[in-house]
Chain A
Amino acid sequence: MSISLEKIVQSCKEAAELLPRQGPITKFAFLNPLQGLEQVHFDHAMEHVGEIYNNKAYLDDYRYRAMLGRGRIKESDLQDVLTEELGARATELVAGLTARMELRLATLKYPLHFGHRRELDWVLAETESLRKFRPELLNEAISSRLAVFKQWIMAERPPDVLATLGRSLGWSASKNEQHFESHRVTDIPESHWEYVYLQTLWNAIKTGVHQRAREIKIHEFDSNRHTKHSLLDHPRMSEYRAATSDHRVDELMIQFTAAFVDQGFAQSKLPGTELGYWECFKQIFSQPSRFASRWRRELWKLLRELEQSDVGPLESIRKSLLKLNIADEDAPAFLGATLLSLRGFAGMIWQTEIRPDLFRKPSPPGTLLEFVAVRLLLLVLAKDFPQAPSAWESKPSSPTNFSRPQMDSEQLAFLLFELAQVLDWNPQTLRKISAAQWQELVVEMLEFGDHQRRRVFHAAFERRLAKMAMRTFQKRVTQPPIRPENPTLQIVCCIDAREESLRRHLEELDPTVETFGIAGFFGVAMYYRGVGDADFSAQCPIIVTPKHWVTEEPVYALEQSDRTRAKARRILGTVQRRFQTQSRGSIGGTILSTLFGPLATFPMLSRILFPRTTALMNQTARQFIAPPAFTRLHLERTAGTPPAKPRVLKDGTLDDLGVGFTLEEMVQLAERALRDIGLTKNFAPMILLLGHGSSCLNNPHESAYHCGACAGNPGGPNARALAMMLNDGRVRRCLASLGLSIPEETQFIGGLHNTATEEIMFYDLELLPSRKIKQLRAASQLLAEAARRNAHERCRRFESADLGISHKDALLHVQNRSEDLAQTRPEYGNGSNAICFVGRRHRIRGLYLDRRSFLMSYDATQDSANAAILARILAAVVPVCEGINLLYSFSAMDPGGWGSGTKLPHNITSLVGVMDGAASDLRPGLPWQGVDIHEPVRLLFIIEATTQTLLHLMNENANLNNIFRNHWAHLAVIDPYTNQMYRFSKDRFVLFTADGPDSNLEEVATAIRSQDWYQNRREHLPFAVIAATENGRQPEAAPQENTSRPTELPA
């Protein structure tokens, strides 16, 4: 009797859901690292991540306590969270001593010793914690306690306490009582009393806890919570995690898997990769080898046996499980642990299998199973050779274990000892309490353990941030909306949090400008290939698989020049490739290094010492061979359905038939984009669509700085495509028939905002009518000034930029960063994101959101009754923004666990990812240098819609439902008609009131300009209202605004 093969396949599929979802690092995917657990409540998932992944959940206590000290968390927030959770239990007395709420608050507030067992040994042996009261206690409190204590001793004369006193004073052991009689109590110095008090306390608690601790089982904090996940609650998960991790097996698996997924780095390819993982492994390792490590010297025999008896990977998994003595019912958990033990590579293998379009060399289905089969085979072999007891081999791969820590009775006792001091439980009482009361105390301590404490801290922190954000929004939406009646310029940016500041500065600079936010792929999902690109890239959110293909082509007049330049590039490329391979070879290497080697110092010196100049020189030199400056998108397909892949003609060009969108498709996309952001009337004469990308050097994570909604590519081509569609006369005619008439004067221009250098460039300007040039010039100037201010605002976050830096130098500073070979922080990306607003910009125009908010435009008043527009917006925006936010937040919680650790030792492997140093698992996630300013918080969605709409949408869309109901992101709504705000909590909407009598919220600050608010400050700033936009409002616009208000805000 043994496990069925289907069961094995199914278990592996389930476990694969828990693997990192990172494709190749060049197409950086911002997804929730725990996406596979979204059907479970966030809190519940976090409880188990320690066991499953050995990663930290939440931050360390001391960091939250520091926030408590700085006022980022208030004590009242902690109280609120505890009250909400505990309900009636909050006021119950624990062991008749203190209310549960007080007890838990004390545990949170004071830096008690929760640490490791060995730390406690040190504390007991080396510190004065058993001699002196905790530093929080004031002198008066101490003396009053001691006074009561002395009275008690006088009255009761407990012999053991007298013995302690005697020891402290050096009395002879047998005559304590007599000595005590002969002394006047007041003669004994206070320090001795203090010692005796604490010793008595300590002894009382130790005995009390020792007796009870053995009988107590840890109660789950909230045992009625149900898991829908089979692996999450498996009791032996952390045991299996230890059993399946073997340093020697890892080493071999890393080498072989890296060779297998190699996308073209190594000079020799792994022979036989096309046979699949399993066959290839068998082929390589079935040659006998005398010198292989001892533990796997018999591997070849085993492989040959499998070959002869024709055992496939699945059958082999079953056999290995038998050999490892894994019971059938435990097999799924064991397989899960096996997969997760080298999860970076396992995840990559899984991606090559399920997203073949992202890889140059994808893998056939079933590869992940073969990976498991090989690992189990090696584990079986390694079992007979226990790991050598040397200094490092016996340790697990991570020095700390974040699984649920086991507390022993002394640790518990010491915690209670510390609490007893701050909560004033005196020894005389504690000596008297009953066994049941001790039990109650111990259970309480276990129930509110490490994890629960951090969870409450985190909840309180998020709560404060969310409330302050909601309060700021509420204050703003009750003020009149700011909307230019006749906008001169409209700018549509990505929802990205980095564009928040750019938009704010634009609006501050010119009140007649209107800005919009839209998902950065502008609704145009496509595979795109630029004129100088080798391959297509998917330009849409990673959760979407595009169907259309678009290429960029040189304009007809420059085709000849393009061919010449392409040829020149090919020659250069061939030389480069020669150089690269030869410089690593023997003869070529010798010649190159002796003849030209010393010359390498020049580029090295100039690159490092003068990065910007070198970059400019390179750029200039490249211009001679760069693709021609004037190109067009091949955007239109005349007919037919788009093919799975465009055909390549004999001359190497693509078959036109498969490329582009049909007219109807273009009309659909255009209409959808405009309706999504509510831009259906009041068109400005010029509308800029700005995609965004980033540029940086020497950075494997470059793709993570590009547009997250374009699968880690720059979003320029999408903006350009949409602008081209909207400028097309035929499209406009069709749109007009659909009730969307765009004035003839209105011109759309696509552009690209470089978020690192703050450069903004536009596409297809040669097509611009000359009467528009003046407008464009004005718009460019405006954008340039806004970009300078934006650079200045960003610089406050960079420690290497002076706080007093001028606008001009700030721009230079950010540009230098992006060209600097040694710069590990070219920009901070979406770091520090915390909010996502979906609604009308003019309702919140003038809010300082500190680059922490995603901004999506949506006009509820234009939506249909069943909120069709909001439904499609949220279907894309919620998972995308939640993914970005959670990847940042998890990476910041445990940079070495969820994130990819520090960039310094990163080593690019197989062109798909990075390892730490010489050989490690692949490291998905964001590097520490990208998240060091990020505060982990779940994203707060603030959506301008009614509560009924949202409830309706959650019922319709399972994904939204999971994310919001299981609190992977927080949700609040602003009613577009009543301006009331509601917060979604425990499956229902609760009215938000900031100004209640018990409100602990600060007033929302106001500043004249953004710069006044952020100047000279590096840390996270509270949100504020910037008055400039109001003041700057044109006088003639103001009354109009007022008159138009009733129409915009129906009662």
Chain B
Amino acid sequence: MIMIVCAMLVVAPPAALALNIGLSLLLGYRPSEHRLAVSTQATVVLSTVAAVTLLIGMLWTDQVQYTLDVGRWVDLPVEHFHFTVKFLFDRLSIPFVILSLVLCGVISAFANRYLHRDEGYTRFFLFFVIFLLGMVVTSVAGTIETMFLGWELVGLSSALLVAFFHNRVNPVANGLRIWIIYRFADGAFLFAALALHHLTGGGDLNLMMGSKPWPENACVLESSHALIVGLLLLIAAAGKSALVPFSGWLPRAMEGPTPSSAIFYGALSVHLGAYLLLRVGPMLEQSLILQWTIVAIGCLTAIYAGLVGRVQTDVKSALAFASLLQVSIIVVEIGLGLRYLALIHIIGHASMRSLQLLRAPSLLRDFRRLEDNLGHLERPQDVANATEDVAPFKIWRFRFGMERGYLDTILDDWIARPFLSIARWCDRMERRFISSICSGDVDTSSRPNRTDETEAA
């Protein structure tokens, strides 16, 4: 009984708070700063206590896995589809959910003072609570559809927080770009979920991975099926965790207020892709090709992040690429099957990077103190070897870093542009076709809507 209550209490408070803030804003009531801060903190503390209690309870009763079934919300027997909400607490999800809650708690305390008197205070906290809810749901999801629900909430709130300063152009442009990449990844996720339902008759992560608790569970899928589902999930994970070729969005996400940059891109959101792979870890082992693909993508991203991170001149981009480097190493670890290591790595890295990002505005002071510690420093004399040629490789490497590996341009020119031309061509054909059958009633002069043009990013 206590276990049920605790399990409920992990998920319910963030949901209730998100609903509460959202509804009161919808009804035109603007909660005060103090009230928002207190209720957010109370929510986080409640959920954290519940999660810790659950952990103690499970240790006490020697239970390694606990499932909370909230029931089927949609059931379409004819189409063989159902949407089951189920929460799974095990050795993977409990540490991750506790990590999410602790970091979110810290950030909410930070943001409360950091955003004091800002006109977007309420909006920030609304997005923040939606993010928190998404994180919790994703972490403890027991079925792939539940996970998708949380995944979407995280994606939505992240994109909105990137575009937090919507009166400037760059944040909105970058937020939109991230949103498009997220949608692409989400599409892959959705396909994977459908494929799983199709193959196993349900999206239950437990069932699909076998009956034993994580991480010993073995997958029931065949190798070829695992490859298909796995590749789709890999695309989803790559989008969320900014692996190659999607890496370009990560530094662009640093448009929001410092605390949101810290938590979303430094600490939690960026690890979500890795978490997904970790969750379906047993399935990955069914296919050697899949494992090697993951390792390869991880390695590529690591090289990319290493090269690009070295030349960044602003503190937030440098930290973003440092994060990406660690995430890609975590992905490699998952590909190699080192799941416990990966989990510890995630937890450690998330904590460390959050602290670094929160302290990012201190950089100048820290830098000065560091120099002072290193002792008296004389200014570099005019460099004598000014005429010495620089090795072309060095120049290439620097340029590669400065252009961020051309990844954005490649996506723009080789994916978005052809896609757009096809779409425009179809549009033209359709108009021509319609005008031919309607004998010119349709106004062909008006250009197609703007929505597809914005994807040109």
Contacts and interface: CB of A to CB of B under 8 A. Distances in A.
Nearest to A362: B379
A403 B392 CA distance: 47
Interface in B226-260: 251-259
A580 B322 CA distance: 11
A918 B401 CA distance: 15
Nearest to B252: A918
B341 interface: yes
Contact of B113 (A583, A822, A903): A822
Q: Chain B contact residues: over half helix, strand or loop, or mixed?
A: helix
A292 B325 contact: no
A993 interface: no
A920 B253 CA distance: 13
Contacts of B122: none
Interface stretch (A411-419, A469-477, A568-576, A714-722): A568-576
Given A609-B109, A699-B361, A918-B254, A388 B456 contact: yes
Given A292-B409, A592-B352, A908 B314 contact: yes
Given A390-B456, A700-B364, A265 B352 contact: no
Interface residues of B, number: 108
A907 B364 contact: no
A576 B117 contact: no
A391 B386 contact: no
B395 interface: yes
Interface stretch (B4-12, B181-189, B302-310): B302-310
Interface stretch (A162-170, A392-400, A877-885): A392-400
B106 A608 contact: yes
Given A608-B110, A908-B363, A918 B174 contact: yes
B55 to A, nearest CB: 15
A820 interface: yes
Contacts of A823: 113-114
Interface stretch (A279-287, A368-376, A756-764, A1035-1043): A279-287
B312 to A, nearest CB: 6
B348 A293 contact: no
Nearest to B362: A698
A580 B359 CA distance: 12
A360 interface: yes
Contacts of B256: 904-905, 917
A256 interface: yes
B142 to A, nearest CB: 26
Contact of A902 (B118, B373, B392): B118
Given A266-B318, A596-B352, A700 B363 contact: yes
B211 interface: no
B169 A399 contact: yes
B399 A698 contact: no
A272 interface: yes
A903 B257 CA distance: 8
Nearest to B447: A389
A570 B373 contact: yes
Contacts of A620: none
A824 B371 contact: no
A593 B318 contact: no
Contacts of A697: 362, 365
Interface in B320-355: 321-322, 325-326, 329, 341, 344-345, 347-355
B352 A284 contact: no
Nearest to A573: B373
B313 interface: yes
Contacts of B390: 271-272, 283
A872 to B, nearest CB: 32
A700 B347 CA distance: 29
A566 interface: yes
A909 B117 contact: no
Contacts of A247: 169
Contacts of A825: 116
A686 interface: no
B450 interface: yes
Interface string A265-279: 111101110110000
A539 B232 CA distance: 62
A894 interface: no
Nearest to B333: A590
Contacts of A699: 361-362, 365
Contact of A907 (B315, B353, B362, B377): B315
Nearest to A532: B372
Interface stretch (A146-154, A599-607, A743-751, A782-790): A599-607
B169 A392 contact: yes
A400 B223 CA distance: 58
B304 to A, nearest CB: 12
A822 B114 contact: yes
Contact of B361 (A393, A533, A908, A910): A908
A933 to B, nearest CB: 10
B403 interface: yes
B266 to A, nearest CB: 12
Interface in A892-944: 896, 902-911, 915-920, 929, 932
A289 B406 CA distance: 10
A918 B170 contact: yes
A294 B409 CA distance: 8
A904 B345 contact: no
Contacts of B254: 905, 907, 917-918
B376 interface: yes
B176 interface: yes
Nearest to A824: B114
Given A292-B406, A799-B117, A287 B169 contact: no
A265 B341 contact: no
Interface string A561-588: 0000010011011101100100111100
A652 B376 contact: yes
Contacts of A648: 378
Given A576-B370, A905-B258, A601 B395 contact: no
Nearest to B371: A534
A287 B370 contact: no
Contacts of B114: 822-824, 904
Contact of B355 (A292, A604, A896): A604
B146 to A, nearest CB: 28
A598 interface: yes
A593 B326 CA distance: 9
Interface in B87-125: 102, 106, 109-118
Contact of B368 (A26, A292, A390, A391): A26
A904 B260 CA distance: 10
B364 A590 contact: no
Contact of A904 (B174, B257, B355): B257
A873 B379 CA distance: 34
B258 A600 contact: no
Interface in B136-190: 164-165, 167-174, 176
A151 B39 CA distance: 65
A167 B398 CA distance: 74
Contact of A258 (B164, B171, B313, B319): B313
Contact of B311 (A266, A580, A609, A904): A266
Given A391-B453, A600-B355, A904-B118, A287 B392 contact: yes
Contacts of A267: 309-311
A585 B109 CA distance: 30
Contacts of B359: 698, 821
A519 to B, nearest CB: 25
Interface in B251-302: 251-259, 261, 302
Given A266-B310, A292-B403, A580 B118 contact: no
A550 interface: no
Given A399-B168, A822-B110, 5 more contacts: A266-B313, A275-B386, A589-B329, A601-B351, A918-B170
10 contacts: A26-B364, A247-B169, A284-B402, A361-B380, A573-B372, A590-B345, A699-B362, A904-B115, A905-B254, A908-B315
| 8 shortest interchain CB distances as A-B pairs | A597-B348, A573-B373, A291-B406, A917-B255, A904-B257, A584-B322, A593-B349, A534-B371
